[in-house]
Amino acid sequence: MECLWMVVGVSGAEESLELVKRLWERDGPFDGIMGFSQGAMLAAVVVAKALSDEDYSVRPRFGVFCGAAFPLPFATLLEEPREECSGSIPTLHVMGKTDQINPPQQGNKLADCFPEAKILWHEGAHTVPSDSVSIEAVVSFCKIACSD
């Protein structure tokens, strides 16, 4: 099985990023961006673009990435030093301890790219956790990020 974190090029990724940008400009602004699996990887790239380009029109106050891996096609953007960034965007990386689709070490590698990353572990696999403790943690993270 080929996973996004293993491939060098991705068909449709730039179009997806452009769609997020158009929707943000048309219907936003929104407080944050959240995604699951490949959607989480796309959301992470959006946050990385916002951190590296102050003219980028998508300006989330936070990112929540569930079951994400490190998207290799965007390694250069994600691994850029963030010391020169204007502002910061906190991120929450939600990872399943038994995820076999996007293994936790890939999620950790992605989290390492964001200076304000927090990690939330759950007992499940490649899922968005629905237990009350995880939901409360995500809601709390979003509220704190929006209060800054």
- Catalogue the active-site residues: 37, 99, 126
Rounded-to-integer distance, Cα 78 and Cα 41, Å: 11
Residues 6 or more apart in contact with residue 50 via CB below 8 angstroms? 56, 58, 59, 60, 89
Helix residue spans in 53-88 (DSSP H): 75-78
Residues 6 or more apart in contact with residue 91 via CB below 8 angstroms? 44, 47, 62, 63, 64, 65, 111, 114, 116, 117, 118
